[in-house]
Amino acid sequence: MARTGERQNHRRLNRPFRGLFLLVVAFLGSTVFLGSTVFLGSTGFMGPGVAGATTMTPAQELASAGAAAKGEPSFHYVSSQTQSGQSVLISGDVSRSGGRQTIVADIGGQVGHVTVSLVDGAAYFRGDEAGLQNFMQLPAGLAAEYTNQWISLAKDDPGYAGVAAGLTTASALSQVAIAQPLTLHGLTRKMGQRVLIIDGTDRQTPSGATKPVTIPVKLYVKASGKPLPVLYSATSVVDGHPVSQSVSFSHWQEPVSVSAPVGAVPMSSLGGGPTEA
């Protein structure tokens, strides 16, 4: 859950939002995310007088939440992001080995819909024309021809990594990137639950930019029982425009069942496909 280094936007999610900060639902490289149980040293403590406050340091709380989340077999998440009238909403149900997403993307006034799944190591997606062209970035001709038809990608197909990202528990957890300095800011309620607030930062380099920028982020963790993450949020300003990002987590341990679509068309047979950002 803690992270080091700087990350470039590199996911399918980021493609329609060139130049924006985005939640990286893939999680990886040299960056350390929520799915990892990494302990960060910190001297910050919650101030006195907060009823039920933890006596753990912010880094300990962060590591504890990461360990708890990593140990769960499945969960539901909702990832949202908006900037300048554009938005992407992703709802996912994931297990350790696979899962599914439904995506609604409003890009340039065109609202597109895409469904994605990961089954036995193969990725599948289908969508309407706007979703295939603007979000999945299929060529216009293919987007029109294969509207609402399932398309499959094998692990060695170009674009597979971007399409499959966010479809397992480990990769979905990496939507949460939070680094020092860390502080605890007491208790509040989010999504109907009593939660502890952990403040931190994330350092990102927008697509096309040469310099990274540090942005403030918040992680809300269950204050009782397992310290599971409940909500992650970040707000920044890019080129004078506010960018809002959030990821919520719920329905821990609920079964997730996905099956391979019948009659899916192999992406390799189409002569074009999702591009890597």
Query: How far is Cα 167 from Cα 135, in angstroms, rounded to an integer?
Result: 17
pLDDT of residue 241: 77
CB proximity list for 118: less than 8 A, separation 6 or greater: 98, 99, 100, 124, 164, 167, 168, 258
pLDDT of residue 33: 35
CB proximity list for 141: less than 8 A, separation 6 or greater: none
Greater model confidence, 149 or 158? 149
Please check the confidence at residue 36 and state whether its pLDDT lies above 60. no
Greater model confidence, 16 or 154? 154
User: What would the two tokens of residue 86 be?
Assistant: 């554009």
For 80, 134, 178, 250, the CA distances from 66, given in Å and listed in that order, are 21, 34, 11, 15
Number of H helices, E strands in the chain: 5, 13
Name which of 126-130, 162-166, 167-171, 201-205 the model is least confident about. 201-205
pLDDT of residue 206: 59
pLDDT of residue 56: 84
User: What would the two tokens of residue 67 be?
Assistant: 């360990």
Please check the confidence at residue 275 and state whether its pLDDT lies above 60. no
pLDDT of residue 8: 33
Name which of 66-75, 91-100, 131-140, 263-272 the model is least confident about. 263-272
Q: Angle CA(58)–CA(175)–CA(78) in degrees, nearest 5?
A: 110
pTM of the model: 0.79
pLDDT of residue 66: 92
Please check the confidence at residue 133 and state whether its pLDDT lies above 60. yes
What average pLDDT does the segment 98-125 reach?
A: 96
User: What would the two tokens of residue 216 be?
Assistant: 């403030």
